[in-house]
Amino acid sequence: MMLKNELRTFRFNNGRMTQAALAEKLGIARQTVIAVENGRFNPSVKLALRMAALFKCNVEDLFYLTEEEE
């Protein structure tokens, strides 16, 4: 199974928030936001919960599992 996310969509729908602005609000590096959005880094549960709280949604709205791509 592969972890996918809708982080870019939530940023866009939240006033077109930049990666840098999201990183600042979460207290993380912009590179971490980029890595999460591109699926190169799976956030900790704590970070995923903080992201969901920021966007006022459930973690499952931001992150979901799919069958692994070939």
Report helix, strand and coil shares of the chain as percent, to nearest 5.
55, 10, 35
Number of domains, the chain: 1
Q: What is the pLDDT of residue 68?
A: 77
Q: Widest CA span of the chain, in angstroms?
A: 35
- Enclosing domain of residue 36: 2-66
User: The whole model's pTM is what?
Assistant: 0.91
Give 10-residue mean pLDDT values along the chain (70 residues): 96 97 98 98 98 98 86
Q: What is the pLDDT of residue 69?
A: 65
Q: What is the pLDDT of residue 62?
A: 98
Helices (H), the chain: 7-13, 19-26, 30-37, 45-55, 59-62
Q: CATH number for the domain including 16?
A: 1.10.260.40
